[in-house]
């Protein structure tokens, strides 16, 4: 893809006639430098620390996993061996941990807490933090070896939502992790077990270890049990907002954008997913009218990426339409990308509830 100079992080331009601006009118451009600079914990988890993680006493792993991750932070931040000791002694491999568990059990909170702990000891340039998709986009923008060289300067690389549904991307990420591990970079990753699989074994962990064959012996699997704290399996269980309320609320809020759902979906097809973060620069609320079930898988997958970027940035969403509990079809929710869709529904539900609270 062609990457040009970044746009400024300012709200979208007002619509002609002074109306509410539209996200569909934004044409973001993103430089490779910005892709690297954006590999930081999301704004949603800016205050996440081990001390703010609220463990559920009913699930002991929510206490043991944070304790282990604090040890990992200390191991990662410890001085590396050098000189004769490094040449002739047995160097301990950099830590590599993988957190498995269902949606909303706090894995991302713990991953960002680990990132913040290492950053506090070694400085901002010591950690790279991104989702699986953001790293594959980075490789697409920079090339494989330049990506390795850039990330090898970090002491810790965190990968949130490691995905196993695209064989090509999975092989790419496995190779990237192997290169980084060989360069003594600590690794931490998360993934999800589907809600219906909880309690039936480490299904996601088994898949993960199988796909990273060369690294499987290095990774320590940490299972985080529990229930989704958001308690969302659908976009929202409340009565949908009217189009008038959505439009009025958007007009009353600085930094809001207002789009017809189908127009936004069509626009997303013209923007590379690596630019969806830049698409939201300066946006403080996304208001959508005419929300209806998504019929095509490629359209649904682009929407999932946008929801992830909205959630990362804590951007509330106003929804008007008739999608209700059926934004994604039953076929999609049973298919190979079902983890992405369940995650998106959970996250969009939380953002929609925040939007309802702000509606006027």
Q: What is the pLDDT of residue 14?
A: 58
Residue 171 has pLDDT above 80, yes or no: yes
The residue from 224, 244, 264 where one domain ends is 224
Query: Residue 173's domain is classified under what CATH number?
Result: 3.40.50.300
Q: What is the pLDDT of residue 35?
A: 86
Residues 45 and 139 in one domain: yes
Residues 193 and 269 in one domain: no
Residues 214 and 249 in one domain: no
Q: Which two tokens stand for residue 244?
A: 């008038």
Query: Residue 242's domain is classified under what CATH number?
Result: 3.40.50
Range of the structural domain that residue 321 is part of: 231-358
**Is the separation of the CB atoms in 283 and 12 below 8 Å?**
yes
CB count within 10 Å of CB 183 equals: 14
Residue 42 lies in a domain: yes
Give dist(CA 94, CA 264) in Å, integer.
43
Closest CA to 305 of 169, 140, 142, 132: 132
Residue 244 lies in a domain: yes
Give dist(CA 228, CA 103) in Å, integer.
5
Q: What is the pLDDT of residue 16?
A: 44
Q: Which two tokens stand for residue 98?
A: 């993988």
Residues 53 and 70 in one domain: yes
Closest CA to 260 of 302, 316, 319, 311: 319
Residue 300 has pLDDT above 70, yes or no: yes
Residue 348 lies in a domain: yes
Confidence of residue 18 (pLDDT cuts 50, 70, 90): low
Residue 110 lies in a domain: yes
Residue 29 lies in a domain: no
In tens, the pLDDT along 183-201 reads 999 999 998 654 444 343 4
Residues 176 and 280 in one domain: no
Give the predicted TM-score (pTM) of the model. 0.77
Residues 142 and 171 in one domain: yes
**Start-end of H helices in 193-242:** 203-211
Q: Which residue has the tokens 């944070």?
A: 66
Residue 19 lies in a domain: no
Residues 71 and 220 in one domain: yes
Indicate the length of the chain as a whole number: 360
**290, containing H or E segment:** strand 285-291
DSSP state of 11: P
Residues 340 and 211 in one domain: no
Closest CA to 287 of 325, 260, 313: 260
Residues 250 and 308 in one domain: yes
Q: What mean pLDDT do residues 77-105 have?
A: 73
Closest CA to 50 of 30, 23, 24, 71: 71
Q: What is the pLDDT of residue 111?
A: 97
Closest CA to 107 of 177, 165, 167, 59: 59
Q: Which residue has the tokens 């796909």?
A: 211
The residue from 224, 240, 259 where one domain ends is 224
Residue 8 lies in a domain: no
Based on the structure, what is the number of domains in the chain? 2
The residue from 224, 251, 266 where one domain ends is 224
Residues 193 and 51 in one domain: yes
Residue partners of 28: CB distance under 8 A and separation at least 6:
7, 271, 275, 278, 279, 281
Q: What is the pLDDT of residue 228?
A: 66
Residues 125 and 240 in one domain: no
Least confident range from 26-40, 157-171, 257-271: namely 157-171
Average pLDDT of every residue of the chain: 84
Confidence of residue 169 (pLDDT cuts 50, 70, 90): confident
Residue 128 lies in a domain: yes
Most confidently modeled of 25-39, 82-96, 299-313, 325-339?
299-313
Residues 39 and 182 in one domain: yes
């Amino acid at each position: 893809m062609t990457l040009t100079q970044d746009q400024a992080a300012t709200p979208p331009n007002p619509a002609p006639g002074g109306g509410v601006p539209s996200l569909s009118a934004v044409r973001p451009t993103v430089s490779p430098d910005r892709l690297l600079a954006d590999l930081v914990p999301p704004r949603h988890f800016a205050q996440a620390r081990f001390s703010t993680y609220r463990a559920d006493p009913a699930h002991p792993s929510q206490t043991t996993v944070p304790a282990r991750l604090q040890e990992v932070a200390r191991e990662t931040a410890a001085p590396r061996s050098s000189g004769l000791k490094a040449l002739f002694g047995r160097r301990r491999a950099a830590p590599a941990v993988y957190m498995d568990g269902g949606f909303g059990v706090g894995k991302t909170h713990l991953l960002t807490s680990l990132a913040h702990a290492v950053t506090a000891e070694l400085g901002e340039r010591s950690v790279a933090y991104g989702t699986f998709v953001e790293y594959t986009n980075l490789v697409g923008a920079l090339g494989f070896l330049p990506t390795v060289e850039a990330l090898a300067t970090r002491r810790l690389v965190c990968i949130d939502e490691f995905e196993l549904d695209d064989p090509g991307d999975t092989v790419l990420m496995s190779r990237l992790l192997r290169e980084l591990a060989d360069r003594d970079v600590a690794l931490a990753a998360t993934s999800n077990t589907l809600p219906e699989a909880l309690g039936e074994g480490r299904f996601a962990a088994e898949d993960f270890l199988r796909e990273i064959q060369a690294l499987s012996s290095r990774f320590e699997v940490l299972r985080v049990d529990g229930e989704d704290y958001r308690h969302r399996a659908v976009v929202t269980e409340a009565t949908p907002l009217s189009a008038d309320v959505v439009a009025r609320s958007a007009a009353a809020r600085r930094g809001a954008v207002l789009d017809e759902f189908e127009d936004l979906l069509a626009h997303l097809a013209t923007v590379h997913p690596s630019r969806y973060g830049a698409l939201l620069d300066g946006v403080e609320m996304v208001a959508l009218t005419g929300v209806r079930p998504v019929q095509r898988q490629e359209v649904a997958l682009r929407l999932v990426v946008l929801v992830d970027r909205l959630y990362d940035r804590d951007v509330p969403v106003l929804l008007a339409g008739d999608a209700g509990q059926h934004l994604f079809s039953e076929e999609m929710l049973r298919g190979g990308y079902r983890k992405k869709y369940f995650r998106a529904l959970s996250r969009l539900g939380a953002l929609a509830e925040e939007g309802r609270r702000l509606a006027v």
